[in-house]
Each structure stands twice: as structure tokens, then as C-alpha cells.
Amino acid sequence: MKILVTGAKGFVGKNLVAELKNRGYNDILEINRESDFSLLEKFTKECDFVFHLAGVNRPKDENEFMEGNFGFTSHLLELLKKHDNKAPVLITSSIQAEKDNPYGNSKKAGEDLLFSYSKDNNVKVYVYRLLNLFGKWSKPNYNTVVATYCHNIARGFDIKINNPNADLNLCYIDDVLEEFLRALEGKPTVQDNYCIVPVTYQIKLGELANVIASFKESRSNLSIPHMEDALIKKLYSTYLSFLPEDQFSYELKMNCDQRGSFTEFIRTPERGQVSVNVSKPGVTKGNHWHHTKNEKFLVVSGEGLIRFRKIGSDEIIEYRVSGEKLQVVDIPTGYTHSIVNVGESELVTVMWANECFDPEKPDTYFVEV
């Protein structure tokens, strides 16, 4: 199947081409601003489906709106008609098509032209009035406020919030791709004669800024965004794609002493805390118990001995653990416990606790195993 994609280097086009290849569609005919447009003549003769994503939304002259959004669409359809190619055509329009402005008028003209083409030539067409899109590979100060906020906040630049209470309707690029692939299979989501992306989100502008700012702060407070919230999850993925390439990494505070080190890695209010514990040979750590706090230990390097004794009992329980065979050991409440490095190299243990450490209420009582 040969798939023609116009605007293949743009935000939507780049994501679409990548996902089409992921799905096994390898015969993709790409047209972008730098293409030799004689290729369009060739591609419109060969293609089996058209994703018409090319358009103009930030021109130097308003006349370019109609030329880019209506004129190019007209040329594309004329070529398809010339070659008697009845390949389905999917076009990306905008919610601005409902408004009386130069950009909206040009998009509406492109829509009307496509609907007429469909009727006159008995060709399937899919018109998507897309909302504010966001996701990886978008351009700050061009595609969406999400891209602008992510880019600026990641770099410590100021952001502009004109009306913090303004409502934003957002659509994530991966949700768009899923819908486009349904259309490619002839199963689009249709509403009032237009195709739609069924998954959308609403957020206020001020809240959006605060959420993205919290992503930057998470590197210092070790928090992890609430991934059960689909919008937060997708915004965080987008934010990470805007990190400066020399700032992918960040340091953690290592609490070091003669025994080794203890380093907090992740803190979450609802899922607890993850830390990394390093013990030198012969060192014992722990010898304490908890009322409610519970933990999981995972030794990833070295050899260790985890020892338990129920409070009020003399019986000692031992678990020998090693990085050679990964296994998780639960640390039940009511048992004093310790971990001893019985090997010749450092013992590295990943530790999870069901709650973040609170110095005001540590729930930790020191008693020898």
C-alpha cells in the first residue's frame, strides 16, 4: 500500500510517518516544503491513500493562508482527478474553520473543496478539525502553548500567561495517530459529518503552567507526576522531549558515611519512596522496626544477609540475597530487621518504602535483631 503524506516534516507529519513505519507501512510517499513538486505529479498517480497534512498557519502575509491551505489542496485534488486516482483523502483542518478570520476562512475553503471533490468523484474523504495539539517534535512559539511552556520552563525562561482562567481543549499527538490509523482502515470516528479524535482534554491555562512547572521541580523534590491522570502522563512525556540535550541527567543527594551511602531516588505521596542503599563489606544497616511503614528490598549487586526478629520473640529469620539472583524481600511491620554485607564487594540494594520519610513521624524504632 502506497501512502502519500503531505507536510511530512511537520509536527503531525513527522509523528505520522514514524508510526506508519512502526506499523509496517514502508511504502510512504513524502512531500514537504523542500520537495521537488514534480514528485507530487508522480505520487498522486501511484498512491492508495492520502494524508494531506500540509498547510500554513503562521505566514508573513495573510494572503498566504488561502494560497497554502486552499490553493495547495486544490492542486492536489486536481492531480488526483487527472490520474483518475480515487484514493481516500484525509485532511487536517482546524477548529478555527468555524470562525471568520483569514486562517479560519482558508481552512473552511479547503474543507468545502474536499467535500465537493468527494461528491463529484465518489471518493472517500475524512476531514478532521483538530484541537490544540501537543506532543513530542512540536515547535515552541509555533504549534501550541504546551510546546512553548515546556521549552521555556525546561530552560528557566519566563512564560506569558494572559488569562490563567482561560480553558484550553487539548489533543495529544498519539491519540491523533490512533484515529488516523482507524481512518486508514476505513473506520474513522465520525460526528456531525466531520471526523473527530475521540480523546480530548480540558485544562485551564494557569493550571497548565503550574503542572509543567512541577515537572521541572520534580528533579529537586524527587516527585513523580500522577501517572494515573492521562493528561498529566502525556504532558510529562511531552515535557521530557523538550529537555535541553545537555540536561538529560540530574544529580541526587548521596548521604555518605564510613558504612557506605543512602540516596533517595523517587518520592510519591501515594506510592511511597524508592532509595538506593550502598553498604561496604562487613557493614550492618538497619536494626529497627516499624508500626505501619513497610518496605521491599532488592539486592542488585553484591551478597547480603537480611535478618528478622519479631518484636517479643527470640527467633531470628535469615534470608541470603545476591545480585546474581534478583529477588524481592518484603519487610513486614512488627519485625526488627537488618541487612549485612557478607560479600567482598559493595552491597547495592534498591529499597522501596510505602511512605516517604517524614522526620516528624519516622515510625522507626531502633532494636537489635
**Full DSSP string of 203-251:** EEHHHHHHHHHHHHHHHHH-B---TTSHHHHHHHHHHHHTS-TT-S---
Does residue 128 carry a catalytic annotation?
Answer: no
**d(Cα 297, Cα 178) in Å, to the nearest integer?**
40
Catalytic residue among 103, 128, 201, 335: 103
Q: Tell me phi and psi for residue 324, to 5 degrees.
A: -75, -25
From its phi and psi, is residue 350 left (phi > 0), alpha (psi between -120 and 50) or beta?
A: beta
Q: Tell me phi and psi for residue 358, to 5 degrees.
A: -120, 110
- Tell me how crowded residue 69 is: count the other CB atoms within 10 A of its CB: 29
**d(Cα 287, Cα 278) in Å, to the nearest integer?**
16
Handedness of CA 277, 278, 281, 284 (dihedral sign): negative
- The answer to whether 338 and 307 have CB atoms below 8 angstroms apart is yes
* β-strand pairing of 49-52 with 125-130: unpaired
Q: Tell me phi and psi for residue 101, to 5 degrees.
A: -145, 165
**d(Cα 315, Cα 133) in Å, to the nearest integer?**
62
User: What's the helix, strand, coil split of the chain in %, to 5?
Assistant: 30, 30, 40
Q: Strand, helix or coil at 126? A: strand
Residues with a known catalytic role: 103
